Structure 1
Amino acid sequence: MQIIGADAVAEALAWPALIDGIETLFREGCEAPPRHHHAIPRPGGEATMLLMPAWEHDGYIGVKMAHVFPQNAERGLPAISGVYFLCSGETGQPLACIEGSELTRRRTAAASALAARYLARPDAGRLVVAGTGALAPMLVEAHATVRPIRSVGIWGRNPEKAQAVAADCRERGIDCEAVTDLEAAVGEADIVSCATLSTEPLVRGGWLRPGTHVDLVGAFRADMRESDDEAVRRASVFVDTEAGARGEAGDLRQAAEAGAFDYDTGIQADLAALARGTHPGRRDDAEITLFKSVGASLEDLAAAITVWRAAGEPA
């Protein structure tokens, strides 16, 4: 069994290949049972363990074990860590143990970019990111792969962290600045991407101008949310998977509880429907679209297969 570290994962998961790989697996389909979600009490606050299995119909088998420790921000550590185990679909033998944090961040950003490929306006040039974690610059790069992003604003509760992320993006050749007025930034954005662990709305529906695409990837539990009820009510809602959205998407569940959203009629399509062409995605330039992602084990499997093949191993 090979051990594949974070640097090798980053090198293998170039954005175009990763986005296309996730799109292909959504189009072709695989078995992806609901993830196991376990709360772990800790002195510094509750942590979460996630177990996410998936397997191709005639191919690889894999499972990710991930931990979410929100309190790690106080220690200068990433909130999310984990490992991915990829196995042969023919024999079940382990093939690789892959560093999971880099894989998770990159597949998350790639799934958002895949959604934006169908849901953001083709001329979307202004991106605003709410969040200052390790995922933030990846969301910038991934969105810039599928849309002509010309300028980026970074917002965070800690302005110094926002300035640091903006500086990092500038070093990558991206026109990026920290912003302090989130309402004003959202009002000028073509794409708004949120990657936080917030339990209170950050993006208000009244701030959204026609044609905006809202990308919500951070809140992954029913008690978390990054948008208010009005944002969900005004938007055409799309999800990574319907099962995940019904079970864990706090933005949608809380809006549904308030009567601003109905799961049965409100979800326009998932990524599989978009990838297969059974839903066209954005309908016109004035439509407000919202993509809610809680993470799917299919995305992890697609990323792990991409890493494995990049390592020169047989398909």
Structure 2
Amino acid sequence: MRSIEAAAVHAALPYGKLVQHLRVAFRSQGSQIPLRSHFHIDDPAGGAGGTLLVMPAWVPGGHIGIKAVSVYPDNAKLGLPSVIGSYLLLDAKTGAPKAIIDGVALTLRRTGCASALAADYLARRDAKQFLMVGAGSLAPHLIRAHHAVRRYKRIEVWNRNRFRAEAIAEKLSDLNASIAVVDDLEAAVRAADTISCATLSREPLVRGEWLRPGTHVDLVGGFTPEMREADDATLQRASVWVDTRAGALKEAGDLVAPIRNGALTAEQVRGDLFDLCRTDAFARRDDGEITLFKSVGSALEDLAAAELVAESVQP
């Protein structure tokens, strides 16, 4: 069985290529995608412990994939990353293991490209200005993936910690775009054509009253019912799409909270990536429509990316 490290994963998954590969995966029939399982791991010494996430998916006659991710907040005290993940790829015909793949690199690439895939159907074709809200590890991958489908002229980065935003901006100097760090979030939201959020916020950052007609909003960071990146007004003004209905309606606070308080109904979610890719038509109804995509992550995205890695990285 091969072991494929992070550098090889990144090299095997160019953003444009992975976007197209995910499009094909969401068009396909027969894939099986159970909801991910969450397990809390106690620390007998009294520490914070951790969370284990297990995400399986398979295509009969194709491959089986299992991603295991551990989230341990106290790891920073030990000089270790808080999030560690591995991906196991198996042959679905025999069950034989084919590769174990760096799960963090795989997740970064597929998450950015899933959002870019949605934006290819939902963001205005003439979109020129992109705003990245958040400056964590996902931020540069979201920016580069979105840029692969729309070629933005100006890219702005906002973060509560300006130094982290500046560090992200420095990594983007090779892009054919104007790169700027901004401090006024409201002004940046009002000016943007596309907004991507990848934060751990529990309070809304994007306000619906700030959005101008035609904006596309991409919400990535909130992965529990308690997390919010946009307020109810944003959801009410937008045409709402998700990566998968089952996952988003159960786990995403940006949907769970407004549905719970009556600001939104599940029936108002227009569709998911399966709908977008299988119809394969530009889904924006007009240039004035506000669109919103909520991502919580799908095991199908991991499986598709892992297959591409295994095909590209020679033994």
Fold shared, TM-score > 0.5 on shorter chain: yes
Aligned residue number for residue 223 of structure 2? 220
Post-superposition Cα deviations, 1:101-128, rounded to whole Å, max 9, x if no partner, equal 0100100000000000000000111110
Contact 1:78 1:133 in 2 (8 A): no
Cα gap change, 1:268/1:254 in structure 2, threshold over 3 Å: closer, same or farther? same
Give the secondary-structure state (helix, strand or coil) at the position aligned to 1:169: coil
TM-superposition CA deviations, 1:42-64 (whole Å, max 9, x none): 66656432100000132011100
Counterpart Cα distance in 2 of 1:167 and 1:78: 22
5 Å matches for 1:1-315?
1-29=1-29, 30-40=31-41, 45=48, 47-69=50-72, 79-172=82-175, 174-263=177-266, 265-277=267-279, 280-312=282-314
Q: 2: distance between equivalents of 1:190 and 1:76?
A: 39
Unaligned runs of 5+ in 2: none
1:170 is paired with a residue of what secondary structure?
Answer: coil
CA contact (8 A) 1:78 1:134 kept: no
- Distance in 2, Cα, partners of 1:86 & 1:177: 40
Helix, strand or coil at the partner of 2:8: helix
Q: 1:232 to 1:158 in 2, by over 3 A?
A: same
Determine the C-alpha separation between the residues in 1 that align with 2:282 and 2:244. 17
Consecutive unaligned residues in structure 1, runs of 5 or more: none
CA RMSD of aligned residues (A): 1.9
Q: Distance in 2 between matches of 1:164 and 1:52?
A: 32
Same amino acid, percent of matched pairs: 50
- Is the contact made by 2:153 and 2:176 (CA closer than 8 Å) also made in structure 1? no
Q: Counterpart of 1:11 in structure 2: which amino acid?
A: A
TM-score w.r.t. the length of structure 1 is 0.94
Q: 1:287 is aligned with what amino acid?
A: E
Letter in 2 for 1:150: K
**In 2, Cα distance between equivalents of 1:209 and 1:112:** 20
CA shift in 2, pair 1:3/1:141, >3 Å: same
Determine if contact 1:127/1:190 at 8 Å carries over to the other structure.
yes
Q: Do the aligned partners of residues 11 and 85 (structure 1) sit closer, same or farther apart at CA in structure 2, a change above 3 Å counting?
A: same
* Matching residue's letter, 1:3: S
Residue 210 to residue 74, structure 1, CA distance change in 2 (3 Å): farther
Deviations 1:10-65 (A, max 9, x none): 00001122111111111003101111022345666564321000001320111000
Give the drift of 1:75.
Answer: 7.7
Equivalents in 2 of 1:217, 1:242: separation in Å? 15
The structure-2 alpha-carbon separation of the partners of 1:279 and 1:34, relative to structure 1 and needing over 3 Å to count, comes to: farther
For residues 280 and 264 of structure 2, what CA distance do their matches in structure 1 show? 23
Structure 1 contact 167–177 (Cα < 8 Å) conserved: no
Distance 1:3 1:303, change over 3 A: same
The amino acid that maps onto 1:106 is R
Q: 227-236 vs 173-182, which deviates more? A: 173-182
Q: Which amino acid aligns with 1:293?
A: S
Q: What is the DSSP-based 3-state SS (H/G/I as helix, E as strand, rest coil) of the residue aligned with 1:303?
A: helix
Residue 302 of structure 1 aligns to a residue whose secondary structure is helix
CA distance in 1, matches of 2:214, 2:240: 13
**What TM-score, normalized to structure 2?**
0.94
Query: Is the 1:187–1:208 Cα contact (8 Å) retained in structure 2?
Result: yes
Residues 74 and 212 from structure 1, CA distance in 2 versus in 1: closer, same or farther, beyond 3 angstroms?
farther
What amino acid sits opposite 2:39 in the alignment?
A: H
Q: CA separation in 1, counterparts of 2:212 and 2:61?
A: 45
Report if aligned partners of 2:60, 2:93 keep a CA contact under 8 Å in 1.
Answer: no
Within 1, Cα distance between the matches of 2:47 and 2:174? 34
Residue type at the aligned position of 2:12:
A
The amino acid across from 1:302 in the alignment is A
Residues 1:288 and 1:74: Cα distance change in structure 2 (over 3 Å): farther
Tell me the secondary structure at the aligned position of residue 171 of structure 2. helix
Distance between the aligned counterparts of 1:227 and 1:179, measured in 2? 19
Deviation of 1:160 after TM superposition, in Å, equals: 0.8
For residues 305 and 226 of structure 2, what CA distance do their matches in structure 1 show?
28
| Counterparts of 2:175 and 2:48, CA distance in 1 | 35
Equivalent pairs counted in the alignment come to 312
